Structure 1
């Protein structure tokens, strides 16, 4: 898969990158470059830009300040060091796990999961973190949760793993989530092992669909973009919840 930059909307560019499993199958990864209302730019997530894409980014920003890098998924850490080295003037934000993994980097005190981030960037973004699940599971093979970011001006939702949308050819086209919006398949393992967690997650998802009803497109982690009709987002979230109902019901039976 080629590494590219694609403009999805006015002020929003998506960087499609490579992430090969076992060095063979490319699941893809992504980051986004967003122009703020003040004219500055931020990155959502990090990616090591090859020289041609780095030049393209610098051309897009036209000398404007890249003021911040917001690392929104606690397990997307491979490119943080490169990103800081390439854009040392950008304020570096991460989750608690980013700070633990790379304590030598000059992280901001505000974490991406903190309400203070929404206060800092609330004019440009809405942020949401799933409820009923931890941001970082004790089983580090479970990469369900992340901080979702909705760019208000363009209606573009940048999401890593929590919501999955793939648009792949063989063999990945055989996966059930291909060309269908759904929750990451690790939800069952991610839910807190306690009563009420399933309901907390369901209520969070319903509220997300309602609050972000005018989402116009979803830029998902593994290099797919889903364009939406007006008001379609709540229905897609409802359908995704319907497909995980057996998981939520089983959790309720186990934990009450």
Structure 2
């Protein structure tokens, strides 16, 4: 797919990018540019921008001078962090604990993206949520379920990597059961903490998220697609997604209590 900059709302732009598994199968990836209420900008996640897209973004941000922060929300989306910092070195660089450990040479902010203090810094524009019942970073590093989810309040846009999936691809990805609907990442069974109550904690987190973010109007999901939804429909979509993973949660309860 060709990289594109899509304006999803007055102050929210989504970069729909490319990520190839094995150098062949493009499952897509994303970052977002958001104009804050004070007129400055932040990136959600990092991506190596093509020259045409960077030109568009620089035209919006006074040559990049108005980009004040880069928030790297998914602990395993690290490929483009160094490029993004080099492109916008004046922007405060935020990451998860895994980002800080992986790139200790970069000038990370002390506040991590999973910290409650992030909401104190950006709470006027965003609400953030970290899934419960699953670790942000699994011991098995092939499991990329959890991330820090972000809701841009003004536009009603949820930016999410992996935790929720929405896929629109041709064959052979069109054969996957997650195609065309909102669902949880298929690694949930491996991600759930191996303790009693983890399945219930995850379910309660998801239900609460649906209620708190019920006014959401779209979901920009990695790796592939943006899902436009009607205000008030997010709780039902979350409920349907939970229904589809009920066997996973029930199996976990049977094993751990």
Q: TM-score range by the shorter chain?
A: over 0.9
Q: Which residue of 2 aligns with 1:35?
A: 35
Q: Which has the larger displacement, 220-229 or 28-37?
A: 220-229
Q: Match of 2:150, SS?
A: strand
Give a deviation string over 1:49-74, Cα, whole Å, max 9, x none.
11111111101224551000000000
Q: Which residue of 1 aligns with 2:112?
A: 111
**Structure 2 Cα separation of the partners of residues 130 and 47 of structure 1:** 24
Q: Which residue of 1 aligns with 2:240?
A: 239
**Structure 1 Cα separation of the partners of residues 244 and 36 of structure 2:** 36
Deviation at 1:83, TM superposition (A): 0.3
Deviation at 1:223, TM superposition (A): 2.5
Q: Match of 2:231, SS?
A: coil
- TM-score (normalised: structure 2): 0.98
Q: Match of 2:33, SS?
A: strand
Q: Which residue of 2 aligns with 1:146?
A: 147
- The CA RMSD over aligned residues, in Å, is 0.7
Q: Gaps (5+ residues) in structure 1?
A: none
Give a deviation string over 1:136-167, Cα, whole Å, max 9, x none.
00000000000000000000000000000001
Deviation at 1:183, TM superposition (A): 0.3
What are the equivalent positions in structure 2 for 1:1-256 lying under 5 Å apart?
Answer: 1-63=1-63, 65-256=66-257
Q: Match of 1:157, SS?
A: strand
- TM-score (normalised: structure 1): 0.99
Q: Match of 1:13, SS?
A: strand
Q: Match of 1:136, SS?
A: coil
**Structure 1 Cα separation of the partners of residues 185 and 21 of structure 2:** 17
Q: Match of 1:215, SS?
A: coil
Deviation at 1:230, TM superposition (A): 1.8
Q: Match of 1:254, SS?
A: helix
Q: Match of 1:209, SS?
A: helix
Q: Match of 2:48, SS?
A: coil
Q: Match of 1:114, SS?
A: coil
Q: Which has the larger displacement, 56-65 or 216-225?
A: 56-65
